[in-house]
Copies of this chain bind each other. A is one copy, B any other.
Amino acid sequence: MKSVIAILTVVLFSVGASAPVLADKPDQEALLKIAQSLFAPLPETVENPDNPLSEEKIELGKMLYYDPRLSQSGFISCNTCHNLATYGTDNLPTSLGHRWAVGPRNSPTVLNAALHTTQFWDGRAADVEEQAKGPILNPIEMGIPDESVAVSRIASMPDYVSRFQQAFPQDSDPVSYQNIANAIGAFERTLTTPDRFDRFLKGDAEALSDKELSGLQVFINQGCAGCHAGPALGGNIKARFGIVESYWEATREFLTVDQPTMPMDVGRFAVTQDQNDLYVFKAPSLRNITRTYPYFHDGSVWDLRAATQIMARVQLGREIDDTDMDKLMAFYETLVGEIPADALRLPVLPASTENTLRPSSR
C-alpha cells in the first residue's frame, strides 16, 4: 500500500496546494502556475557530482554507446535498443538481444532518463551509470560474459585508452568497467529534449495552443500528474500497475500474436521480495510519449489512446471521454522534443587490434 499512499499524497498535495480544480476553458495564467508546481523545464544536462561531465567524457561515452563491440556478438550496441533515430527506443514490444533472445520488458527511452530517480522498470539501479552496467553483461541482451571481457576489448584499442585517460585524468587505471559505465552515463546525461512545453513552463504564452492547454488541464484534472510529474513527467515514482483493476486483464486483448506468452510480471517484487512491491513499476516519463510506442513495461499496447484509457481505468478508476482524449493527445504532442544534434552525430569508432577479443555469435 505504500506506493498507493505515495501517489495519493502527491496528487492531493500538488493539486490541493496550488489551485482549485481548473475550469473547462483554460485560464492560461492559473494553468501555468499549477503546471509550474507540478512539472519543471528540462535542463540541458543532468549533473551528477560523482560523475562530473566533461566534453572528453561525453564524447567517449557516445562512442561506447554506439559501439557494438560492447556486445559479445559485435552486433548489438546500446543504440540498437535505445536508438536515437527513433527517440531512444527500439519501438518493439520487448527487445531482442543476444542470440535473438526476446527480453521480458520494453526498452525505455534513454532520452531524459538521467532525470529519473531510479533506473529500469523496477527501479533496481540508482542512476544511469549503474544502469549502463546491466545490459552489457545480461546474457539475453548484449551477452558479454563478464566485466573483464568488456574492459579487455576496450583496453585493446589505443585510441580508446587515450580517450579514457583524458576523460578520467585522476584515475591511475582509467579503463575500468565502472568508467565505461561512467562515460556512457555522462553521454546519457546530455540526452534531454527541452522544447515547447518547457518554453511554456518558462512563461512563453505563445508556446502552446488553446487545445494543447486544454489537454494539459485534462491531464492535471484527471490526476495523471499524480505519477507523471517533475521535469520528465514521470520517472520519479514507483507505483503498483493496476490499483483499481488488474493491468493484466486490461491489456491482454492488445497483445499481438507474435508476442511470446509470458507470465504476469511481478515488477519490483522480483527485486525486493516485498509483497508491497508486487506489480510495482516505475511510472515512465511521458516526454516524447507519442514516439516511444509500444507502451507499458511489456510493450503490450501500441495505441496511445488505448494506453491512456487503460491507465485511467486501472490506476484511477476513471474513463476519459473522446473530447478529453483528443485534448490529451494534443497535449502529448507538446512533449515531443528535439534530440541534441551532437548525440545524433555518429562517431567513427577506433579500429580493433590483434589484441581485441573477437566477436562471438554464440
Contact = CB atoms under 8 A, between A and B. Distances in A.
Top-8 shortest CB links A-B: A100-B100, A344-B346, A258-B360, A75-B96, A85-B346, A85-B349, A66-B85, A99-B100
Interface of A: 66-68, 73-75, 80, 83-87, 90-92, 96, 99-100, 102, 256, 258, 290-291, 293, 302-303, 339, 341, 344-349, 351-352, 354, 358-362
Given A84-B346, A85-B346, A90-B75, A361 B303 contact: no
Contacts of A349: 85-86
Contact of A347 (B75, B80, B85, B354): B85
A361 B257 CA distance: 11
A67 to B, nearest CB: 8
A290 B350 CA distance: 11
A303 to B, nearest CB: 7
Contacts of A74: 90-92
A303 B354 contact: yes
Given A75-B80, A362-B258, A339 B345 contact: no
Contacts of A91: 74, 352, 359
A92 B68 CA distance: 11
A86 B293 CA distance: 29
A80 B75 CA distance: 7
A252 B348 CA distance: 31
Contact of A90 (B68, B85, B100, B358): B68
Contacts of A339: 348
16 contacts: A68-B83, A68-B86, A68-B90, A73-B92, A74-B92, A80-B80, A85-B348, A85-B349, A87-B348, A96-B361, A99-B100, A256-B360, A290-B351, A302-B358, A339-B348, A341-B345
A253 B225 CA distance: 63
B92 A75 contact: yes
Contacts of A361: 92, 96, 100, 102, 258
A230 to B, nearest CB: 25
A111 to B, nearest CB: 11
